[in-house]
């Protein structure tokens, strides 16, 4: 209640409001909630957060003095916000003229200005307390008189001057790493020293290295880690096999993408004598090879995830483990952790066991191969694949009935030439074979998390949680879908079914992809936590990550925890503080990896378009702003801007609430989701920008 009230007054800092009116604005209906509201308002008044003026409450004019926080500059560098460590104040708006000598990511001291009605507090930066980035990646350029580096990250809004004696061998158009940033006067540019040359700008390897540097990711493994890995035997001892259930004679197989090298999950199915099904999900037992106190463990914790850039993987584990010893390659004995569930034909769970095992995969399938077998009704292991597909369909149907949301996010796939240049790009087609594996992995993840909570005193654990959406974002989403002609009851959005019904109604329509994307943006982000609140999007009470330990550190930890819990093994101990630290690191590195992967895709999209200037494309409007229209191409999903100045047929007015631009004279409207035809006029790799113009109708 207190959090909701704070959020309301922060959004309306000058509003004076009565208790009953506030209750209506917060959708408070019951007498109990109303009594709680009055009590919280009284408490917040005593704390000095609110003031009471007659029968009305208003946000107190508190003297906050100079505040500290982290600066985040928008992509074009025209302004930024400082995120304060004070929940009673919204982010502070900083105009470009008031940024001083601060850069994106810096910890700064802020002085607030007088409040403006209905807007974020505004201020100016009066001191840089700590630089957010010690190193900046960019391209070295030269004018007649001096050298400077253009940062890759557009949020770094000033070029960096490099004295000639600090070039350290770099030459123009080199991709470089700059350190020792000093910036004393905003009238001059910051200065720095080149400490590393990544290669010539534009080459594939240079691009990979620069993305890794920008996101603080190590491409290579330390010598101490590689030395530990070299000592791991390639064969499995008879003693170790004797400790496990032996499934080497079972028909077990893997299903993965064409280019996969690390196979961390395999599946199996049998029809039991009672007519039920025995479904096996067998996951690479990475935890067996990575002791808690090893250098390998520490490096895996630091990385926390593999990063999948276009044409290149930066793995969490060294290749000997990820692509060989742990990978469930066919016709080789491999250590696994198996979840074996007995299901009725209606896919109700009768029984299950979670046991360490040893398998020998009989076949490596690709998704396309499985899809072809299912389509033609013939091929290797056809009967088992057909049965698994039937089971996955039933599992998905039951999941949907319980309220699970099925988002459809489009994924672009590139074909690269030998130099890494993109030749073609297209949208990845999701097939039934993908869903087959997805549903079985969801089943295993859910069973493992549920098993932990069967005890009256469950152990500390690592959950994958997904909170309910923020009310303010739901309101924005509800308003948006109305502009597209859809209804969305924001008051019932605590039920994921409300989202799913909306997405179902948009299936196979032009705006389907856009609705999915905006719906995802309105959601909270899924994170790792020791405090279970369930998974809103999947409508699961208990959920974790168990099925990808080669590429995700949380799964590796869950393997260790579930083994300790089931076998009562205390050889490796994890306290609640250890697990909280693991959850924070894994959530942060997951976000970092997603951003690196998005940048990798964006750069390839710009490269692909760089030799297509003047060509025409079909697109959909993906964003409306006061400075132009963002459009996303249908084939490559590349997104670019149509500047407002290039809409020269009329003077257009921006309607923020309706997400549209409207011509003052013609009445012509451009809105989110509209299909348009555009011509490419610029694809700038260095500035990471794509510009289009609309074709005349």
- pLDDT, tens digit, 9 for 90 and up, residues 230-278: 999 999 999 999 999 999 999 999 999 998 889 999 999 999 999 999 9
Going by pLDDT thresholds of 50, 70 and 90, the confidence category of residue 477 is confident
pLDDT (average), residues 172-192: 93
Q: What is the pLDDT at residue 219?
A: 92
> In this model, does residue 697 exceed pLDDT 80?
no
- Comparing 193 with 411, the larger pLDDT belongs to 193
Spell out the residues 6+ positions from residue 451 whose beta carbon is closer than 8 angstroms to its own. 352, 354, 562, 565, 566
Q: What is the pLDDT at residue 458?
A: 67
Q: Which residue is associated with the tokens 């451009």? A: 670
Q: What is the pLDDT at residue 521?
A: 81
> In this model, does residue 75 exceed pLDDT 80?
no
φ, ψ of residue 485 to 5 degrees: the values are 90, 20
Q: What CATH number matches the domain at 135-201, 1.20.1730.10, 3.40.1710.10, 3.30.420.40, 2.40.50.140?
A: 2.40.50.140
Going by pLDDT thresholds of 50, 70 and 90, the confidence category of residue 506 is confident
> How far is residue 635's CA from residue 632's CA, in Å, rounded to a whole number?
9
> In this model, does residue 584 exceed pLDDT 90?
yes
Report the DSSP pairing between strands 160-162 and 147-151.
antiparallel
> In this model, does residue 652 exceed pLDDT 70?
yes
Q: What is the pLDDT at residue 507?
A: 82
pLDDT (average), residues 437-445: 98
pLDDT (average), residues 675-697: 91
- Give me the DSSP letters along 288-320: GG--TTSHHHHHHHHH-B-EEETTEEE-SS-HI
Q: What is the pLDDT at residue 9?
A: 81
What is the dihedral sign for C-alpha 355, 361, 363, 365?
Answer: positive
Report the DSSP pairing between strands 333-343 and 349-360.
antiparallel
What percent of the chain stands above pLDDT 70?
96
> In this model, does residue 65 exceed pLDDT 80?
no
- Comparing 278 with 115, the larger pLDDT belongs to 278
Q: What is the pLDDT at residue 85?
A: 65
pLDDT (average), residues 219-226: 96
Average pLDDT, the chain: 90
Q: What is the pLDDT at residue 46?
A: 82
* Predicted TM-score (pTM) of this structure: 0.83
- pLDDT tens-place string over residues 331-357: 999 999 999 999 999 999 999 999 999
Convert 564-596 to b/e letters by CB count within 10 Å (16 or more is b).
bbeeeeeeeebeeeebbebbebbbebbebbeeb
> In this model, does residue 580 exceed pLDDT 80?
yes
- Comparing 239 with 497, the larger pLDDT belongs to 239
> In this model, does residue 592 exceed pLDDT 70?
yes
| DSSP at 1 | -
> How far is residue 115's CA from residue 112's CA, in Å, rounded to a whole number?
8
> How far is residue 112's CA from residue 296's CA, in Å, rounded to a whole number?
47
pLDDT (average), residues 372-394: 96
CB 384 within 8 A of CB 277: no
Q: Which residue is associated with the tokens 């995802």? A: 520
Task: Show the beta-strand stretches assigned E in 310-376.
Answer: 312-314, 333-343, 349-360, 363-366
Q: What is the pLDDT at residue 456?
A: 58
pLDDT (average), residues 424-451: 95
> In this model, does residue 61 exceed pLDDT 80?
no
- Comparing 608 with 1, the larger pLDDT belongs to 608
- pLDDT tens-place string over residues 662-674: 999 999 999 888 8
Q: What is the pLDDT at residue 88?
A: 53
> How far is residue 151's CA from residue 136's CA, in Å, rounded to a whole number?
7
Going by pLDDT thresholds of 50, 70 and 90, the confidence category of residue 114 is low
What is the dihedral sign for C-alpha 362, 363, 364, 368?
Answer: negative
> How far is residue 301's CA from residue 429's CA, in Å, rounded to a whole number?
33
Give the fold, CATH level 3, of 2-59: Arc Repressor Mutant, subunit A (1.10.10)
Among 84-88, 137-141, 462-466, 485-489, name the one with the lowest average pLDDT: 84-88
Q: What is the pLDDT at residue 403?
A: 86
Q: What CATH number matches the domain at 610-694, 3.60.20.40, 3.40.640.10, 2.60.40.10, 2.40.50.140?
A: 2.40.50.140
> In this model, does residue 118 exceed pLDDT 70?
no
> In this model, does residue 536 exceed pLDDT 60?
yes
Domain boundaries, the chain: 2-59, 66-130, 135-201, 223-467+529-598, 471-523, 610-694
pLDDT (average), residues 293-310: 97
* CATH class as words, domain 66-130: mainly beta
> In this model, does residue 197 exceed pLDDT 90?
yes
Q: What is the pLDDT at residue 74?
A: 82
Going by pLDDT thresholds of 50, 70 and 90, the confidence category of residue 657 is confident
pLDDT (average), residues 134-160: 92
pLDDT (average), residues 400-409: 85
Fold match flag (2-59 vs 66-130): no
């Amino acid at each position: 209640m207190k959090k909701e009230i704070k959020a309301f007054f922060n959004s309306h800092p000058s509003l004076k409001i009565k208790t009953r009116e506030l209750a209506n604005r917060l959708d408070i209906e019951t007498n109990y909630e109303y009594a709680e509201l009055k009590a919280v308002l009284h408490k917040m008044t005593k704390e000095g957060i609110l003031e009471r003026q007659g029968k009305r409450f208003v946000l107190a004019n508190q003297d906050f003095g100079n505040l500290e926080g982290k600066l985040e500059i928008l992509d074009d560098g025209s302004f930024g916000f400082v995120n304060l460590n004070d929940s009673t104040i919204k982010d502070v708006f900083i105009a470009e003229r008031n940024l001083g000598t601060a850069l994106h990511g810096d910890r700064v001291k802020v002085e607030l200005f007088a409040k403006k009605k209905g807007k974020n507090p505004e201020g100016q930066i009066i001191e840089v307390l700590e630089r957010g980035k010690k190193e900046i990646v960019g391209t070295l350029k030269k004018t007649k008189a001096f050298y400077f580096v253009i940062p890759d990250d557009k949020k770094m809004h000033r070029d960096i001057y490099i004295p000639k004696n600090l070039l350290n061998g770099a030459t123009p158009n080199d991709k470089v790493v700059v350190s020792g940033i000093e910036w004393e006067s905003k009238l001059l540019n910051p200065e720095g020293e080149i400490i590393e040359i990544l290669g010539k700008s534009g080459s594939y390897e240079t691009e990979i290295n620069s993305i890794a540097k920008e996101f603080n990711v190590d491409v290579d493994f330390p010598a101490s880690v590689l030395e530990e890995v070299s000592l791991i035997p390639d064969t499995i001892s008879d003693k170790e096999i004797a400790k496990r259930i032996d499934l080497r004679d079972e028909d077990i197989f893997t299903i993965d993408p064409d280019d996969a090298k690390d196979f961390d999950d395999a599946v199996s199915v049998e029809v039991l004598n009672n007519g039920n099904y025995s479904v096996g999900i067998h996951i690479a037992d990475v935890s067996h090879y990575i002791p808690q106190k090893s250098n390998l463990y520490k490096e895996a914790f630091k990385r926390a995830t593999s990063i999948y850039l276009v044409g290149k993987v930066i793995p969490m584990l060294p290749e000997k483990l990820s692509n060989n010893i742990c990978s469930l390659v066919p016709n080789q004995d491999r250590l696994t952790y198996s979840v074996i569930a007995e299901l009725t034909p209606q896919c109700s769970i009768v029984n299950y066991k979670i046991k360490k095992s040893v398998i020998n995969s009989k076949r490596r399938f690709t998704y396309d191969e499985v899809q072809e077998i299912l389509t033609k009704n013939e091929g290797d292991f056809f009967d088992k694949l057909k049965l698994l597909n039937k089971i996955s369909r039933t599992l998905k149907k039951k999941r949907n009935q319980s309220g699970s949301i099925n988002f459809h996010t489009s994924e672009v796939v590139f074909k690269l030439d030998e130099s890494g240049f993109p030749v073609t790009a297209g949208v990845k087609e999701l097939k039934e074979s993908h869903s087959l594996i997805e549903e079985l992995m969801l089943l295993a993840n859910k069973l493992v998390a549920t098993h932990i909570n069967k005890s009256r005193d469950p152990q500390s654990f690592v959950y994958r949680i997904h909170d309910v959406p923020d009310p303010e974002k739901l309101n924005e989403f509800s308003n948006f879908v109305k502009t597209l002609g859809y209804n969305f009851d924001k008051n019932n959005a605590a039920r994921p079914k409300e989202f799913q019904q909306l997405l179902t109604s948009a299936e196979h329509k032009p705006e389907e992809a856009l609705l999915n994307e905006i719906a995802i943006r309105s959601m909270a982000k899924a994170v790792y936590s020791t405090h279970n609140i369930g998974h809103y999007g999947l409508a699961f009470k208990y959920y974790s990550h168990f099925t990808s330990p080669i590429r995700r550190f949380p799964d590796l930890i869950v393997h260790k925890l579930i083994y300790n819990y089931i076998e009562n093994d205390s050889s490796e101990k994890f306290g609640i503080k250890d697990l909280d630290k693991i959850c924070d690191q894994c959530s942060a590195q997951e976000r970092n990896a997603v951003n690196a992967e998005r940048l990798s895709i964006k750069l390839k999209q710009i490269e692909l378009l760089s030799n297509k200037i003047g060509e025409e494309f079909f697109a959909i409007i993906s964003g409306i702003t006061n400075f132009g229209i963002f459009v996303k191409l249908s084939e490559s999903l590349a997104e670019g801007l149509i500047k407002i100045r290039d809409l020269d047929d009329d003077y257009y007015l921006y309607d923020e609430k309706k997400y549209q631009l409207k011509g003052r004279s013609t009445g012509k409207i451009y809105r989110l989701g509209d299909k348009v035809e555009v011509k490419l006029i610029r694809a700038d790799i260095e500035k990471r920008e794509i510009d289009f113009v609309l074709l005349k109708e």
